[in-house]
Amino acid sequence: MNLLEFEESLTLLKKSEDFGLRNYQLKAARNIVEKGNSLLIMPTALGKTFVAVLIIAHYLKKYEKKRQNEESKENEGQKENTKNNGQSENAEKQPPENNGEKILFLAPTKPLAAQQANRFKQFLKIDEEKIQVLSGDLNPIQRKEVWEKGLIFAATPQTVANDLMTGKISINDFRLIFFDEVHKAIGDYDYVFIANSLKGRNEHAILVGMTASPSSEMDKIMQICETLHIKNLEIFEEKDAEEYSQQIKTQFRFVKLSGELLEIKGELQKIFYESIEPLKPFGLKNRPSKKDLLGIRTTLLTMAQGNPSIYKAISQQAKALNLMHAIDLLECEGLEVLINFFDEMETRKDKSKAVKSLLEDERIKFIKGQCKSLLKDGLEHPKIAELKNVLESEIKKSESIIIFAHFRNSIKKIVSEINNMPGIKAKQFIGKTEGMSKKEQMKTIEDFRNQEFNVLVASSIGEEGLDIPTVDTVIFYETVPSEIRAIQRRGRTGRVKEGKAIILITQGTKDEAYYWISRKKERMMKENIEKLRSDMTRSRKAEDEKKEEDQQKENPPNEAKEPEKKPEEKKNSNEKDGKPKPQGQKQSKLGEFF
């Protein structure tokens, strides 16, 4: 299939300033249509959604042709019946059904699903009533009505999984299913349930997984491929779109903890190492990581069956985990965030023994008092001052900035601090569980896009898929150990023009370690993807060679071949057969969209 074969599909696309088709997008769409179930790996801002639009347009055109053929046959049949039975040619026609032709676009969150539905309405020439958004906001009766009247659905996986289990929809209804942010398709995530529902029931559906970053772990990538029965990998990098992509410059701003904060850190560490002493007989290391602490809990819970004395060690493990978190907050977030952590523990109605033990410790009470005293004297984490320095410089050059912070309390602190700066109007963007409704989320993004404020301070919900094309600068308030999250954060900038990513790092803390961990994982991810692509290419080549060999065995070539005709003879033969002479190439519509 060549690119021009998409020309008919392009008649279903609306012309838009926001939709400039690119060769690599057409190539990806063509390959996916040609090769079936595919994993599309493409950096943020290179247009995964546009690839999906092209594929959808292709299938919509197929449906259109199919209906036209059916209607043509039906009309012929009606004319024949009229002749034979005298029935009216104007007999009422039954509307064509969409069973087995529906298209599903799965997105992890409600805002993302709504955003993609709006994109489809913006770019596809189709009755907008046929494009529907489905989430838990609609009650079951409303959802059933929406399923029946729609053709293209943007939905959350939880909603689709629930409606499959309760029989409101059939998995057989779908011809094309997209899994956005497909790196989530592991474990017990609902993407896995939906994909597994197809087995033995709907083998004709085409599955397309889309992500900017699948994983650094080969096992997870393989699990995704097995779940979606991936036959084809479409991998694109910035270098594949150099004429379209923008450079992202990365800067690092290192800060050091003050003597006062180092002193508090030392006091917390003493209590932490004291709390892990009872856990060492069970195999805990002298300097355990968070992973080690979580692992020892699994061991202890197994041992606790029939041995109640082990529960004391389990309580110590929980206490140690809280102390480790407190140290992380102090190192990477600040005094106010640490105080809030202790305050939240105190306000819990049902306190565990671990929490009670921690709060009753006189040393913790003293540390909390120290933090409050230092805050009163104007001392905070050095990141706050560095962030203000960065913003003071960047706001003169940037129309819009996103600051990513991990903790809700950090986000509130940052918004409060920077809104006092001249030229800055900041708002928070957090998830539903953190206190922001879907309606509030959508309004915040729309206000940011319309430049009603210029700094968005976001939690991890701001990392995936948001359509904010004008962000000039992204600031990491802290580093993340996940290669997926690091790539997604950087991908918020450099979409329309050159972008900048600024990373704040506290020296000698987990900030620094997490940065190098994410860098290593990114490198491993690229190596694993290339290996998988190479293996898949070899496997496909071997399959093709085997098919060709089998075909040759079934149909051996004739030894006696008809002599090749001369060009003049071919020409005369064509004319005799009534074949039209070529009249020149038809003008392609592709250029209209570039």
DSSP string, 473-498: EEEESS--S-HHHHHHHHTTSSSSS-
Domains contained in the chain, CATH given: 3-77+97-241 (3.40.50.300), 248-255+381-515 (3.40.50.300), 262-376 (1.20.1320.20)
- C-alpha dihedral over 292, 517, 429, 387, to 10 degrees? 110
The residue with greater pLDDT, 68 or 235, is 235
Encode pLDDT of 514-525 as tens digits.
888 888 888 888
Predicted local distance difference test score (pLDDT) of residue 82? 57
Cα 487 to Cα 485: distance, rounded to the nearest angstrom: 5
How far is residue 192 from each of residues 32, 110, 185, 196, 251, measured CA to CA in Å?
A: 21, 19, 5, 6, 38
Side-by-side strand order, sheet with 426-429: 248-255, 499-506, 473-476, 401-404, 455-458, 426-429
Those residues whose C-beta lies under 8 Å from the C-beta of residue 319, and which sit 6 or more positions away, are 275, 354, 357, 358
**Between vectors from CA 199 to CA 195 and to CA 201, what angle results, nearest 5°?**
115
> How many other β-carbons are positioned within 10 Å of the β-carbon of residue 87?
13
Encode pLDDT of 184-196 as tens digits.
999 999 999 999 9
Does an H or E element contain 360, and which? helix 353-360
Handedness of CA 199, 202, 206, 207 (dihedral sign): negative
- Choose among 343, 324, 342, 318: nearest CA to 268: 324
> How many other β-carbons are positioned within 10 Å of the β-carbon of residue 63?
17
What are the start-end ranges of the H helices in 103-253?
110-123, 140-149, 157-165, 190-197, 218-227
The model's confidence at residue 581, banded by pLDDT at 50, 70 and 90, is very low
Question: Residue with structure tokens 């004739």?
Answer: 558
**Between vectors from CA 259 to CA 254 and to CA 264, what angle results, nearest 5°?**
105
Predicted local distance difference test score (pLDDT) of residue 382? 95
How far is residue 66 from each of residues 52, 59, 196, 453, measured CA to CA in Å?
A: 21, 10, 29, 49
Question: Residue with structure tokens 């599909």?
Answer: 9
540 Rama sector, left if φ>0, alpha if ψ -120 to 50, beta otherwise: alpha
Does an H or E element contain 70, and which? helix 48-85
The residue with greater pLDDT, 289 or 579, is 289
Strands 174-180 and 248-255, bridge-based pairing: unpaired
Predicted local distance difference test score (pLDDT) of residue 317? 93
pTM: 0.71
Encode pLDDT of 439-486 as tens digits.
888 889 889 988 899 999 998 877 765 666 568 899 999 988 887 777
Encode pLDDT of 478-515 as tens digits.
988 887 777 777 777 766 677 889 999 999 898 888 88
Strands 174-180 and 102-106, bridge-based pairing: parallel
What is the mean pLDDT of the segment spanning 238-263? 83
**Between vectors from CA 368 to CA 363 and to CA 370, what angle results, nearest 5°?**
95
Cα diameter, the chain = 104
Helix axis angle, 362-376 to 259-276, nearest 10°: 160
8 A C-beta contact, residue 493 and residue 501: yes
Residue 353 clears pLDDT 60, i.e. is over it: yes
Encode pLDDT of 252-305 as tens digits.
999 999 999 999 999 999 999 999 999 999 999 899 988 999 999 888 988 887
Residue 576 clears pLDDT 50, i.e. is over it: no
